[in-house]
Chain A
């Protein structure tokens, strides 16, 4: 992949990569930093990109690696950033969901984010994380069960 092709790809995916990073890291500066680092890593490794991969799978793999390492450094999880809830009416619900997501283990949270931001299929998710499709399914189901319980309370 040459430099120009890479910047086109980066432009196409920057928004979605940001959405995943923002929902995982929960603040704008960290999300931007994560996307920046992921794109730089992908750029440096663009020679090793193999076309048997979908570009999205590859970029999400690199981004997941950066975000997960960032989450490793964060214990305990930070307080939710105030004032990002959007309009007041759905703000409460969104804040609830953001809080409920904190209760979901990191691996499941990452799969949920990838699945819902860009609609990645089970197979794509399995490729991004290097896990089996069955593990993807059980992780997503477990994550959603935890969310449901947290939202009911």
Chain B
């Protein structure tokens, strides 16, 4: 009965385990992710309005400033050891916004600092955010091409 590899695994057992596994409370996690994620977006939007109305910043520059401030907040809270607690509570709500991205860069940087600044901190900084950057850039190229051809055809 000892399955040797993935190909002859014990289907009965896996189904049995699935049937008695503890399920994630979907309603609760969705609600938490919604309000925390929403709150982060509200903060971002308020910053935007503040910068626009008070400091008269507009256009791309405005978007840049808002992102910078949010990234700073995310990194700062990670450094204080608060962001992982928010993440534990909110799940996707605090992972998806830009603050979650900041968290995913800063947390490995902090963790691997013990291996030195070059091979530790700098090399391991993007272990989690790396794929996001790669696929982000790749998908932006695809979207750009689609946009270009639609523009060209019509």
> Are the chains A and B members of one assembly?
no
